[in-house]
Amino acid sequence: MTSNSNDNRHKDIHYTLHPYTNLSAHEEQGPLVITRGEGIHVWDDQGNQYIEGLAGLWCVSLGFSEPRLGQAAAKQFDSLPYTHTFSHRSSEPVIELSERLISIAPQPMAKAFFVNSGSEAVDTAIKFSWYYNNGLGRRQKKKIISRQRGYHGVTVASGSLTAIPLMQNDFDLPLDRMIQTETPNYYRFCEAGETEEQFAARLADSLEQLILDEDPETVAAFIAEPVMGAGGVILPPATYFERIQKVLKKYDVLMIADEVICGFGRTGSMWGSHTYDIRPDMVTCAKQLSSGYLPIAALMISGDMYDVFKDQSRKHGALGMGYTYGGHPVAAAVALETLKIYEERDMLGHVQSVAGHFGRRLAELSASPLVGESRGVGLIGGLELVANKQSREPYPAEVKVGATVAAKALANGLIVRGLPGDVIGICPPMIIEETEIDILFDRLALALSETENLLRDAA
């Protein structure tokens, strides 16, 4: 479908260091240059059209041509292109945005702290856990627990919680104080005959044992994405968060909900925390906060934490933490407009109305011999690819089955992502309509059957 021009004209004039890219292969083929977007589609510089089946990087909720966001930015640029939130200052969009965020927070929250990326929001949550416990005189209570395959960013601290080998190996991560517990991937790690509830109970027991082994007096916080996105679209098994939160409460460990992907309707509720009854002490959000149009992220903190911060700032003279561009007024104006659009157009109602169709089309792909499990909630889905459906044996890494399906999809006009564990991630703009969902899944089905043929011919 797309023209495979093998056009290498960018390769010699291109000086960007590309994340998550095989650098040697990249030198040969150059980047796919995206030049414009409209609705759920983007076009490359050869004129090929694609459905953006991952909404960019799980972020472009309103699609690629929402005029109101550009207008909100232009208006703010005209009136005040920059100010900050240090030393008792603020701007109107930041004030209104924090009010809105706090009013829709998954749990009662006291304050929103603005940063520029999900990684910074997670970094800040780590620092705030330490600041809080030091404020309470609990100077040993500092370890942060994340889950294998959890994705929480790539800065030195947040990257220490991103328990995916590719993101840690040879970067000298994780740092001390960052420890890991099991991933809740029931399909991959359940034992023979084990129910979802039994699996969840086993993981909660194992978390409790980890906390006891480490000494509860040294464990500050647990961080979790409601649905694990970049680590392979892993949904929590039944009763998982209920059981995990019981353990955290017992040992006075903070719960950080990393809502960077799930926030603002992706799972069919405003927050993944609503979908899975998570009651966090801190909440990170980003991506769909501005529909990805400008970089902005936030960390919300509970009233209990804020009370301690007030004491701390009295002791130290100020809250010694802030970013030059945190609460940038233009980014805040765009985020505010995004939240207004969600409300005015009932974006949550839209996600709920098309999610059933999305789920049905996703589930149909289980029929493919390559698909071990199809799983999803709201408008996020994943296909775990396997070499043997009965034994669930994965393909050897060198087959690169996930990357092959993603490449076949691209050639058929669909952008999806091959994630760790050979999971295909699907997360289209939330504005997607049922007819577009059909086209998306038709293209994905074709990519799967083409990959199947390729593997058969190669065998």
Ligand X SMILES: Cc1ncc(COP(=O)(O)O)c(C=O)c1O
Q: Does residue 383 bind ligand X (CB under 6 A)?
A: no
Nearer to ligand X, 122 or 219 (CB): 122
Q: Is 337 in the site for ligand X (CB under 6 A)?
A: no
Q: Which CB, 283 or 341, lies closer to ligand X? A: 283
From the centroid of its chain, how far is CA 412?
A: 26
Q: Judged by CB under 6 A, does residue 258 bind ligand X?
A: yes
Alpha helical stretches, state H, 14-151: 23-29, 55-58, 67-79, 92-104, 118-135
The burial class, CB within 10 Å (0-12 / 13-18 / 19+), for 319 is middle
Cβ count within 10 A of residue 9: 11
* Phi/psi of residue 30, nearest 5 degrees: 75, 170
Q: Of 408 and 417, which has the nearer Cβ to ligand X?
A: 417
* Cβ–Cβ < 8 Å for 163, 149: yes
* Phi–psi pair at 419, nearest 5 degrees: -105, 170
Does residue 280 bind ligand X (CB under 6 A)? no
Distances 390 to 9, 19, 79, 379, 381 between C-alpha atoms, Å: 46, 35, 62, 28, 22
Number of alpha carbons in the 13 Å side-chain half-sphere of residue 265: 28
In the block, tokens 């002490």 appear at 281
Note whether 184 binds ligand X by CB under 6 A.
no
Position among 261, 299, 444, 447 found at the interface with ligand X (CB under 6 A):
261
Per CB under 6 A, the list member of 56, 159, 184, 229 interacting with ligand X is 229
Using the rule CB under 6 A, is 226 a contact of ligand X? no
In terms of CB distance, is 57 or 190 closer to ligand X?
57
Question: Does the protein bind ligand X through residue 152 (CB under 6 A)?
Answer: yes
The CB-nearest residue to ligand X is 118
Nearer to ligand X, 260 or 401 (CB): 260
What is the β-pairing status of strands 254-258 and 143-147?
A: unpaired
Q: Cβ of residue 332: shortest distance to ligand X, in angstroms?
A: 16
Binding of ligand X at residue 236 (CB under 6 A)?
A: no
DSSP, residue by residue, 225-276: -SSB-TTT-BPPPTTHHHHHHHHHHHTT-EEEEE-TTTTTTTTSSSSHHHHT
The token pair that represents 288 in the structure block: 């769909």
For ligand X, the binding residue among 117, 288, 368, 412 (CB under 6 A) is: 117
Coil, strand, or helix at residue 74?
helix
Does 122 interact with ligand X (rule: CB under 6 A)? yes
Report d(CA 246, CA 243) in Å as an integer: 5
CB 87 to ligand X: min, Å: 26
Interface with ligand X (CB under 6 A), residue from 64, 113, 128, 151:
151
Crossing angle, helix 347-364 and helix 329-344, to 10 degrees?
80
Q: Does 56 bind ligand X (CB under 6 A)?
A: no
Among 56, 153, 272, 382, binds ligand X (CB under 6 A): 153
Compute the least distance from the CB of residue 297 to ligand X, in Å: 6
- Select from 441, 422, 415 the least CA-distant residue to 358: 441
Min CB(404)–ligand X separation in Å: 23
Of 72-80, 224-232, 249-257, 311-319, the window that binds ligand X (rule: CB under 6 A) is 224-232
Q: Of the ranges 254-262, 330-338, 357-365, 407-415, which one interacts with ligand X (CB under 6 A)?
A: 254-262
**Taking CB under 6 A as the rule, does residue 118 contact ligand X?**
yes
Count of residues engaged in binding ligand X, rule: CB under 6 A: 15
- DSSP annotation of 399: G
Q: How far is the CB of 421 from ligand X (least distance, A)?
A: 16
Considering only the stretches 6-14, 94-102, 151-159, 441-449, report the one whose residues sit in contact with ligand X under the rule CB under 6 A.
151-159
- In the numeric block, the tokens 């260091």 are attached to 17
Question: Distance between CA atoms of 441 and 235, rounded to whole angstroms?
Answer: 20
Interface with ligand X (CB under 6 A), residue from 105, 109, 210, 260: 260
The tokens of 159 are what? 């990257």
Instruction: Choose between 147 and 152: whose C-beta lies nearer to ligand X.
Output: 152
CA distance 441 to 419: 18
Stretch that binds ligand X, among 45-53, 99-107, 146-154, 435-443 (CB under 6 A): 146-154
119 or 451, CB closer to ligand X?
119
Please report whether residue 119 would count as binding ligand X according to CB under 6 A: yes
Q: Is residue 342 within 8 Å of residue 419, measured between CB atoms?
A: no
Q: Indicate the residue among 56 and 402 with the shorter CB distance to ligand X.
A: 56
For ligand X, the binding residues (CB under 6 A) are 57, 117-119, 122, 151-153, 225, 229-230, 258, 260-261, 286
